[in-house]
Structure formats: C-alpha cells, structure tokens
Copies of this chain bind each other. A is one copy, B any other.
Amino acid sequence: MGDLNVRMALLLEYDGTNYAGWQRQNNGLAIQQVLEEAIEKLTGERTLTHASGRTDAGVHALGQVVHFDTQSRIPPHKFSLAVNTVLPEDIRVICSVAAKEDFHARFDAMGKTYRYAVCNSASGRAVGRQYCAHVPKALDVEHMQQAAQAFLGAHDFNAFMAQGSPVKSTVRRVYESCVYKQEDMIYFEVAANGFLYNMVRIMAGTLLCVGLGKMRPEHVASLLHGNRREYAGYTAKAKGLTLLRLDYGEKSPFQAGGEGKNSEHTCIDG
C-alpha cells in the first residue's frame, strides 16, 4: 500500500423530497451530484461516487451506502464531520470509514431493506407528511399482513417491475416481508437480496389494493410466477419509501471490529 489512495465508504442519510433521486442526471438535481460537489469542495478532487443502488426521485434513505476513492489526507473517520459542513441539511453522512480497497457498495451488497410508510387516517398528517403516502380509507391490516407473507422466498417478480427495465433475471429472494401498524401509520418492511426497478413501490401498491379490498390477499401469491406487470397493483408514491439499510455480511466496512484496513471508527445503526 505505497500510495495514498483510500477507498472511503460512507453511510448516508437523505431526505429525497427535493432531489431527482440518487443518480446524477441532466433533468434535476441528484443527490450524487450534491455529494460529489461537496467532496470536491472539501478535497479539491473530482470523484465518482458509487451507491449500493439508485433511489428514485422523492425516495428517502436512512442507510444508503456509498464508496469512492480519495487521496485526501483527512482521516477517514473524520471525513463525515468535514463533509457535513459543506453538505445541505437534507443530506447527512452518518459515518465514514476506510474500506478494503476492493469494497464495492453495489456489487458487495448481499441484501437491502426498505420501509414503505402510509398514513391511514382521514385527515393525513402535517408533521412528517414528507415521509409517507396518505390513504384516507381504512385499510385491512390483517389482509395486508397475510398478503405480505406471500412475498417471502425466491420468486419471479416480473409483475413487480416497471415495464421496460432491462435486467438479466427477474428472480429475487425476499427474506423479510411484514406489515405493522403504529397508531395511524401502517408500515411495510421488506428485505431482499436485490430489488427490481420500482419493485418495492409496486409491492406496496399491491398491498394497498389488498388493504382496500380491491384484491384478495391470497391472490398475491399467484402474481409471483413471472406474470405481466398489469396484474399487480399500482406503483405507490415515492415519498412513502425509505431505504433503511444495506447488508454486506462479513464485508461490511462499518462493522464493529472493522473490516476496513484503516478502520478507526464503527457505526452502529443507520
């Protein structure tokens, strides 16, 4: 390790309300662009940041993971503090560590957990309205819970992918899928080894159809055999979706004990 290059891994939180999603693009301000500009301001380096995956416009993250290479002499575990001083308030680096030189935020990800939030009251909410969809009609939570069980396991989720998305396989393995209620909020939490484009939002929209009595809960299982998109429910609003955390198993740069070559800092919870 003769050079000064460090592969930096960041644990990133953002409020997606005012952004055109993670990925840098011509139409609208992306989180990637804002982060890369902040890094350049801090280090003078033009960097390319790699996230665990894109998030759509309006989608939030509590535990997005990003890596990039830097020759900056800022100590890795202090990088988060430094970059937060130049980032806007709606993007925060929770934690920064030096990762192994071959760590890759996207390719090393073994799993990902999302949460979809719905306010299920007549009036909706003012406080926190940015982070949930609003469904005024009373939802049948038990039916939604029953339907959410069907997602568990390896299935062909073709019906739960936005049309025209080019992918090799539409099979994904879901290892957590549950619906729970807290006061007037209903949450759908789902973890999988990967997600197709719009997959969580279509799963959430389908569960909402079930909750509204427009689809029988037992019907959901029949949609998991590579069916066409139009058989599943609608694509639920982006603002209800939050990327909660990534799972890298033993490759996690943030674990206690630190897999990173220079890890001086551990990050618990995203």
Q: Which of A90, A122, A124, A183 has the most CB of B within 10 A?
A: A122
Q: Is the CB of A122 within 8 A of B15?
A: no
A38 smallest CB distance to B (angstroms): 13
A70 smallest CB distance to B (angstroms): 19
A127 contacts partner chain B, Cβ-Cβ < 8 Å: yes
With A183-B269, A269-B183 as known contacts, state yes or no: A127 contacts B131, CB within 8 Å: yes
A189 contacts partner chain B, Cβ-Cβ < 8 Å: no
Identify which of A91-99, A100-108, A139-147, A245-253 touches chain B. Answer: A91-99
* Complex Cα spacing A129 to B60, Å: 13
With A183-B269, A269-B183 as known contacts, state yes or no: A92 contacts B125, CB within 8 Å: yes
A62 contacts partner chain B, Cβ-Cβ < 8 Å: yes
A120 contacts partner chain B, Cβ-Cβ < 8 Å: no
Q: Is the CB of B89 within 8 A of A127?
A: no
Q: Which of A13, A84, A124 has the most CB of B within 10 A?
A: A13
A1 contacts partner chain B, Cβ-Cβ < 8 Å: no
Given contacts A13-B126, A94-B123, 14 further A-B contacts (CB under 8 A): A13-B123, A13-B125, A14-B126, A14-B127, A15-B127, A80-B123, A89-B126, A89-B129, A90-B126, A92-B125, A92-B126, A93-B123, A94-B121, A127-B131
